Structure formats: structure tokens, C-alpha cells
A and B are shown apart, each in its own frame.
Chain A
Amino acid sequence: MTEDKKQASRLLRGIHRTLTGLHPALESVLAAIVGLLFGALIMWVWGYDPIVAYKTMLLGAFTDKWGLADSGAIAAPLVLTALTFSICLRAGMFNIGAEGQVIMGGLAAISVGFFVLPSGLHHVVALVFAMVAGGIWAIGPAILKLTRGVNEVISTIMFNWIAHFLSIFLIGAVLLNPFSADQTIAIPPSAIFSKLIRGTDLTYAIFIVIGFALIVYFVLWHTAVGYEVRASGLNPSAARYGGIKNKRTMFLAFVLGGISAGLAAAVILMGSSATHAMYRLHGQLRNIGFDGMAVAMVGRNHPIGILFSAMFFGGLNAGGRLMQLSSSPVPVQMVRLVMGIIVFTMSVPELARVFPAVKRHSVGLVKEMKRLTSSKGRR
């Protein structure tokens, strides 16, 4: 009897939290809906048919094997750059430098084209190169932050631009493909992941991505280091009082984030990329870092949440390509606009409270539930 009551009240609390917007997953869903609705509005204003466009997009991305595979292929690197942002945010910092770390990781991965190794070992070497390069590029802003107190938002952006110009130089002078201007040498076949599903972009690299996300989850939530990282992010002074070296955890978070971003570049270049080469203006690596931030926020900065939200954004992008070909040919760039609105919306805490209707109904529902459970208890 009392057990029943306890369970009922726990359920009630859960429902209450969900409906009043305290539940994180619901907020993400709500933000996504707001973003898609705004997107529809803009499409409509600019003379497209949003219903046809969204239908093509969502059905194409999520309803068949090929659509899901292509969505997953786009989602894979986004998971990693989202982790870059999230790990640092968990440690209390805004690392928006994934873009530059991705570029450096990509350059390092490409460089394995210069030597011959047996397949398998070649994969490992390329992945390690990319991770090390991404990690090293994250050390700069970390050191500036820890020794000089430079705001990481500024320093990481500056490092992004430095990486941008450095890569243009390296692509033009060192990694250039002698047979094709504006393009680097390609990663050799012995270091390329084979396709998981024929005819799609999905490769075996997806397992590396999921594995890495699970490792990050394990490290952050089930090890002492991860606890320290999260503690110093939640309340730095309390953490320091508790004997945690904040500077060390911040440094670790930055480097781990950089490693993740570097890996993202390798996953693209060794996997879904068509040419397995980099371009002067990084066509296929472009915006991976920034899109990752949207994924991270919608995934509530939790590795498992990120897996789902990356799939959502991957689907938007994969479906967006189909949308361009539908009878209402909205350019795929629309997707980034929608992502921006979603992130902007995500900045509002307890989002559901903003919508009076949701709030009113949820309060009514909770009252109703209370009445029902209490009468049940009496019986």
C-alpha cells in the first residue's frame, strides 16, 4: 500500500518535472519544434511550401535504411565535435575551437598518405595522428586561459583562424596533390574505413564514434578524474575547497575535447568523404565544429543525449539534400538556419514555462493526477 503510494508520487513528480519544462529531454524536443516552426515560417515567407519540404526531409532521413544510414554518416563527426564542446562545458568553459582542432586533425590524418603501412595499422596511425594534432591545437587556448586568464571564447576563435590560414599554407605547400590543384593528396585505401551499407556514406567508423562517446561517458561519470572535471565545472570554488585542482581539470577537459575534434576530422576523411582529401577551404570539414555545438546543446551536454541529437541533426542535413530536389526546392542551407534558432531557443532555461498554454495545461494535469492518486490511495 505505502509502496504503491510512493510509486505514484514518484510518477507524479516525474510527470510534473516533464511538463513544467524541468525535464531536459523535453526541453530539447520543444526547442527543436520551435526551430522547425520558425524555419517553416521563413520558408513560407520566401515562397516555398514548408509542408512538402519538411515531409521530403524527414521521411527521406528517418524512414528507410538508406536514409538512416546517410543520416548516421553525417551524425558521426558531429557526435565528436559535440563532445568537444560538452566536455569543456562540463568543466565550466565555452570551447568554441572545435573548428580549428578539426582542421589540424584533418591535416595530420592526411599526412599518413606519405607512407605505406599494412591496413589496420595504417588506420590506427591515422586516427592517432588526428587525435594528437587536435589535442595539441587545444593546448594553446588552454595555456592562455590557465596562465593569463584569457577568455577561451576569444582565444579559441583566434586559434580557429590561425588554423585556417596555416592549413591553407600547408595544403598549398606541403600536402598538395600534384595532379589536382586546391586539393591535398588522398588518404590511401589501406587507411580507409569500408562501407557498412553499400550505396550510402555510412562506414565502420561509426563504431569508433559510438565507442568514443561511451568512453567519454564512462570517464566523466564513472572515474575520479571525470568527477573532478564535472565538480570544477559546477562550482569551481567548492571544488577547489574539496581538494580538486581546477587548473588541471580544465587543461584535461580542453585536451580531451581537442582529441575528440581531431578524431572527427579523421572519421570524415577516412570514412564518409568521397575523395578522402582536404580542400583549400576545407569544404567537407567546414562548420563541423560549429554544428557540433548545436548538437551538444540539444543533447544536453551528455554523451548519450548527444548520440540522439546528432542523429536528429544528421537527419536534417541528409534529408535537407533530398529537400533541395523536392517540388519545393528549399536550399539545404536552411538547415543551419533552423539549427541556429534551436540553439538560440535552448538558451532559455525552463523553456516550457515560456509557453503559457503548456504551463497552464501541465498545472491542470498535475492537479488532476493528484486528485486521482489521492482517491486511489483512500480506496
Chain B
Amino acid sequence: MAIFLMLVGFTLQGMVPITLTAVGEIIGQTAGLFNIGLEGILLVSAFAGALGAAAAGPLAGLAIGMGVGAFIGLAFAFVSTYWKGTQMVAGIGINMLAVGFVEFGMIRFSSNAGAFTIPAEQHLFRFNTPFGLLSPIILVALILPFVVRWFIKRTRAGLMLKAAGEAPEAADVSGINVNAIRMLAATVGGALAGLGGAYMSVAWFGFVTKGMSAGRGFIALATVVFSGLNPILALLGGLLFGFFRSLGLVVDTVPGFPLPAEFLHMLPYVVTLLVVSGAIGRVRFPKALGVPYKRE
């Protein structure tokens, strides 16, 4: 029973960065921008958030992480809308830049080149629940997908967002500024990924390492693909991958378990592959996804 409770707690904790990032990417992709730089945003904002938290407290850390994420999202959006950049290449650039920036910054700001630890008194407060200590951001990640779903489905602004991704010409003709909408969407998406990153360092681990994002950005991307741009499915995806990650961690502690630990750590990645390969075919993406909008 104790193990079961622990598993639930771990799953909830591990779900947050993937869900937040995936929901952010869903907003961006609905508007037609395919950002594969999520991994980089997670890493940079985890680092920036940790620096901010160490200097000015956990809430400032979260805000700084979000701000950095939003800034990267904005830069990405600017290049891929007004400069008609190749979005894949820009995303790869972001990921590379992030690794360099964090490795460099770690040497600059920390006596230890491998990790930066936030002082314990600067961690975000947590609720004491039967599942262990849980961060309030988990609630945000649980509620946000429903809000975003409602926003995209039911509001006028959500419809404009969809139009920018589905039929940019038609949107343009009807007086919507396609590029401005895409910029806004990618910025919000970047901010959410930034929150996910800052959550990892400020509210979950309490430290940053240069390998901290550990493929979560790409798992979030996989979640987006399998959800077919439905934020609620993205939440389920996040829970699923969070569960398999924690399963690995929990089973690892069982003495005499026959499988080597490395194979358990592989689980989230293998499950991602399986889920994505099972999901393709039934999902449909915006027509103008990844294509810069050029006015004739």
C-alpha cells in the first residue's frame, strides 16, 4: 500500500513538466508553429529558475523560468513567422544553444560544474498529502488542460488561433493578423514550458544538472502528437509517462528484482515509442503546421 501511494505521488510529480510543456506546444501547434526546441526551453528555464529562486525566492524563480521560456518562444516565433525560418532547424538550434548556455552558466555561477543546488529554504512550499509532499503546481497542471481545451474550443480567440494554423490565408483575409497570433501563441507556449522547467528545479528536485531535461521535451512532443492537439489527452499522456518513470524508480528499490535498473529507466522512452506508433493515423494536424505564412 505504501508503495502504491508512493507511486501515485511520484506520477503526479513527474507528470507536471510533460503536461505543461505539451499543453504549451498544443497552443503553438494549433496556431501552426512546430517548435521542437521544447527540450532546450525546459533546460534553460530550469537553470534560470534555480538561479532566480536562489537569489530571490521560489516565486521569483518560477516567474523567471516562465519569462525565459516566453522569451525563447518569442524568439522562435519571430524567426519562424517574420523571417520565414525553417522551424525544425530553429528548434534544433534552441536545443543546442540551451545545452551550451547551461553548461557555460553552471561554470560561471556554481562552484560545482555538474550541478547547481538551490538552498533548502528557497524551495517552493508543498502540501503534505497521503501521497507524499506535493507541489501546488501539480494542481495547475491538472486544471490547465481543461482551461486550454475550453479556450480553443469555445472562445472566439481560440477560433482565431485555429484559423491561423488551419487556413492562414482565410484568416488573413478576414482581418486576423496571422503572424501576430502565431507569435502570441508560441510565447504563451514557451512560458508554459518555462514553468514546467522551473518547476523541475524550484519545486521538485531542488537542483539543476545539465542533463536534467532528460528527453522530457521530446516526450512532451510525442504526447502532443499522440493527443492530436487535445490538451486533455495531453494530460493523460503526461500521467502515463509520469507513471512509467515512477514505476521504474519504485521497482528499482525492490530488492532482488530480476531486471537490471537500466532497463527500467528505459521504460518511459519505450512506452513513448509504443504509444506514438499506436496513435498515428487517427490524429489530424493543422494544415499549415510548420509552414511559414507568406502573403501573396
Contacts of B218 in A (CB 8 A): 153-154, 157-158
Are A153 and B88 neighbours in the complex by a CB distance under 8 Å? yes
The minimal Cβ–Cβ distance linking B260 to chain A, given in whole angstroms, is 5
The minimal Cβ–Cβ distance linking B217 to chain A, given in whole angstroms, is 9
Does B185 belong to the interface (CB within 8 Å)?
Answer: no
Does A343 belong to the interface (CB within 8 Å)?
Answer: yes
> Considering only CB atoms, which chain B residue lies closest to A96 in the complex?
B92
How would you classify the secondary structure of chain A's contact residues: helix, strand, loop or mixed? Answer: helix
Are A341 and B266 neighbours in the complex by a CB distance under 8 Å? no
Does B93 belong to the interface (CB within 8 Å)?
Answer: yes
The minimal Cβ–Cβ distance linking B33 to chain A, given in whole angstroms, is 13
A31 to B278, CA, bound (A): 40
A162 touching B96 in the complex, CB below 8 Å, given contacts A154-B225, A173-B260, A337-B104:
no
Does A339 belong to the interface (CB within 8 Å)?
Answer: yes
Are A161 and B104 neighbours in the complex by a CB distance under 8 Å? no
Task: For chain A, give the interface size range.
Answer: 35 or more
A154 touching B272 in the complex, CB below 8 Å, given contacts A333-B100, A337-B97:
yes
- B96, B103, B215, B276: the one contacting A294 at CB < 8 Å is B96
The CB with the most chain B CB atoms within 10 A, among A46, A339, A343, is that of: A343
> Considering only CB atoms, which chain A residue lies closest to B260 in the complex?
A169
Does A120 belong to the interface (CB within 8 Å)?
Answer: no
> Considering only CB atoms, which chain B residue lies closest to A334 in the complex?
B104
Contacts of A172 in B (CB 8 A): 262
Are A340 and B90 neighbours in the complex by a CB distance under 8 Å? no
Are B273 and A340 neighbours in the complex by a CB distance under 8 Å? no
> Considering only CB atoms, which chain A residue lies closest to B87 in the complex?
A347
Are A150 and B90 neighbours in the complex by a CB distance under 8 Å? no
A223 to B89, CA, bound (A): 28
Does A149 belong to the interface (CB within 8 Å)?
Answer: yes
Are B94 and A340 neighbours in the complex by a CB distance under 8 Å? yes
Does A44 belong to the interface (CB within 8 Å)?
Answer: no
A144 to B276, CA, bound (A): 10
A341 touching B263 in the complex, CB below 8 Å, given contacts A154-B276, A155-B273, A158-B222:
no
Does A297 belong to the interface (CB within 8 Å)?
Answer: yes
Does B177 belong to the interface (CB within 8 Å)?
Answer: no
A347 to B263, CA, bound (A): 37
Contacts of B281 in A (CB 8 A): 148-149
Does B140 belong to the interface (CB within 8 Å)?
Answer: no
The CB with the most chain B CB atoms within 10 A, among A160, A337, A345, is that of: A337
A341 touching B97 in the complex, CB below 8 Å, given contacts A158-B218, A165-B266, A169-B263:
yes
- A42, A169, A339: the one contacting B96 at CB < 8 Å is A339
A166 to B261, CA, bound (A): 10
Q: Which of A339-364 contact B (CB under 8 A)?
A: 339-349, 354
Does A338 belong to the interface (CB within 8 Å)?
Answer: yes
User: Which 10 residue pairs spanning A and B have beta carbons closest together?
Assistant: A340-B97, A344-B93, A336-B100, A337-B100, A343-B93, A340-B96, A347-B89, A333-B103, A347-B90, A169-B262
Apart from A158-B272, A336-B104, A354-B83: 15 A-B pairs, beta carbons within 8 A: A144-B273, A144-B277, A150-B277, A153-B218, A155-B276, A161-B214, A168-B262, A172-B262, A334-B104, A337-B104, A340-B94, A340-B98, A344-B90, A347-B87, A347-B93
